[in-house]
Amino acid sequence: MMKALFEIIPKKFRAATCGVVLSALLRAMLNFAGLAVLLPVLLMVLNSQQIHSNQILSTLYEWGGFTTDQQFIAATCAVVIGVIALKQACNLLLQRVQRRYVVRLYKYFSVKIFRNYHDRGLAFIKRQNTAILSRNVNFICYNLVMGVISPTISMICEVLLLGLLLAALMWYNPMIALLAVAAFIPLSWVYVVILRGKLRDYGQRENEARRQQARAVVETFRGYTDIEINNAFPTMQRRFEQSLDTIAEIKSRTDIIGAMPSIIAEMSVALAMVVLILLGTATSHPDTSLIFGIFAVAAIRILPTVRAIMAQWWQIRYNYYCIDIVREGLEEADEIENDAPIQRIELGSAIEVEGLGFRFEDADKEQWTLRNLNLTIRKGEKIGIRGTSGAGKTTLFNLLLGFLTPTEGEIKVDGQRLDRTLARRWQTSIGYVSQNVYIEDSTIAGNIALGVDTDQIDRERLADVIRRARLEEFVGQLPNGANTAIGECGNRLSGGQRQRIGIARALYKQADVLFFDEATSSLDDRTEQEINHAIEQLSREQSALTIVVIAHRSTSLEYCDRIIEI
């Protein structure tokens, strides 16, 4: 397990990881020191004559110039309290260091996987369930850090402390040390052997149940109207309840497993106490009470240590499945410089498609979506693309937009091959209006200037594109104008208003190539005519604007210079 964890921790965290492990060692030594300083108090409580008979105590008594035993005891107690207070303060500081480390690691994993999923492209995202991707980014990373890495650090601290305690007991009295080992090890070993496989299985089962739970919720609200019309909600609810039943069953079992370390540790201490009492009674050893007292004090600290080690171990085993998910999520997509400044590509002459062929990865070898396609789109042209359903029109658009990579052939922009690196620059220069325009839960202004912070929006440009997209009348009727919130997925907008926002968005980014993918297919005749008129008006206002349109209806292609059949 340690090897698997070390492999997924990034290099820039390796030094911090070593520092955290060292802090765990320091915490163990501080906790041991806190326990060690109690020894003089214990000796004096059990037998006040130890002040003068114990070599260390008698030396301290003489060195301090004490005149009475009460003065020495009071001073010793004050020092012990001070040392323990200092130990606790240092512990809090070290815990803060460890907590900041795991939080930073969580942020790194979550952001890294988020970006990796994004960089794998449209084909990858279409093959996945978005609810599962969201869970991996938000919750699996958290479970890995808080359920595996953090307990591992704590367990290192507790194991080191236990080793120091047993070493000290072995030095003071080997019988007490061996008794502690004999009391704790067998029961703990049985616990580990019995539950090792089950805990990992429970963790994987709960993760799958939570995936199904999330899918049921997301799909119910996403497809609300269809689910209601087809009376499918009882089925969705049944799936949701089945997931909850699985989670509840697993949690009830793991709660019992989580309580077992306390029971096992307490049984071990009780058993050791009984054995120690029996041995003391049988041998009539003069120091029986002292040995018993030392073991009792040691047991007070060993008990929570063993309990913590066992609890942390089961937590690690339960969340172990997260390692594989995060490792897969960290696998790099094609190298893309996400943070590098992006230089726009201004279309100078033409977009050329040469021998283009595309086949999805999971399709049969002979099942081509597009094959041997050649076409040229010159700057300033208004091109219509028409074809039957399933002919690959939308796939062609995704290829032209740089979202998909050709299986064969190539696409060139002003003679440059459109690959993953060039695609990022290309996408900053183009506008895209689909049949279902993406609307975020924000304002009209925020949706038009998508990706721009509110205080950075150019209000003059915003007003201009609202006018050019024929949104002026609609926005003017709203209580807060362009700053009006339009709800999640634009549920307060009509189909025509959504399309106009898509057009305004493309204009705001000052795109010099506009792609319309069935942008009017779901609109009524009147609204379609209005949108087509708005697009035609744009082409007149900007003669250099290149427009590519996919449409079934001939009325949507009337203003095109030429129409390409595929």
Q: Which of 351, 352, 326 is nearest to 135 (CA)?
A: 326
Question: E strands within 306-424?
Answer: 350-358, 370-378, 382-386, 408-413, 416-417
What was the pLDDT predicted at 259? 78
What was the pLDDT predicted at 71? 77
Q: List, for the chain, all residue ranges whose pLDDT scores fall below the cut of 50.
A: none
Q: Is 37 helix (H, G, I), strand (E, B) or coil?
A: coil
What was the pLDDT predicted at 242? 92
Cα 524 from chain centre: 43
What was the pLDDT predicted at 352? 92
In the CATH hierarchy, which fold is given to the domain comprising 2-329? ABC transporter transmembrane region fold (1.20.1560)
Burial of 364 (0-12, 13-18, 19+ CB in 10 A): exposed
Structure tokens at 497: 């208003």
Q: Are 460 and 413 in contact (CB under 8 A)?
A: no
Rounded CA gap, 246 and 235, in Å? Answer: 17
Considering only CA atoms, give the Rg of the chain. 35
What was the pLDDT predicted at 81? 82
Q: Which of 18, 73, 85, 83 is nearest to 48 (CA)?
A: 73
Q: Are 533 and 496 in contact (CB under 8 A)?
A: no
Structure tokens at 289: 């009470």
Q: Are 320 and 196 in contact (CB under 8 A)?
A: no
Q: Between helices 459-468 and 495-508, what is the axis angle to 10°?
A: 130
What was the pLDDT predicted at 399? 92
What was the pLDDT predicted at 108? 92
DSSP assigned state of 413:
E
Domain boundaries, the chain: 2-329, 350-565
CA dihedral (16, 21, 22, 25) in degrees, to 10, reads 160
Rounded to 5 degrees, φ, ψ at 37 are -70, -15
pTM, 2 dp: 0.74
What was the pLDDT predicted at 333? 57
What was the pLDDT predicted at 163? 84
> E strand or H helix at 550, and its extent?
strand 546-550
What was the pLDDT predicted at 410? 92
Burial pattern 444-462, b for ≥16 Cβ within 10 A else e, equals bbbbbbeeeeeeebeeeeb
The domain defined by 350-565 carries CATH number 3.40.50.80: no
Rounded CA gap, 348 and 414, in Å? Answer: 6
| Amino acid in position 545 | L
Q: How far is CA 302 from each of CA 161, 295, 386, rounded to the nearest angstrom?
A: 9, 10, 77
Q: Are 105 and 9 in contact (CB under 8 A)?
A: yes
Provide the CB-side half-sphere exposure for 21 (13 A, CA). 10
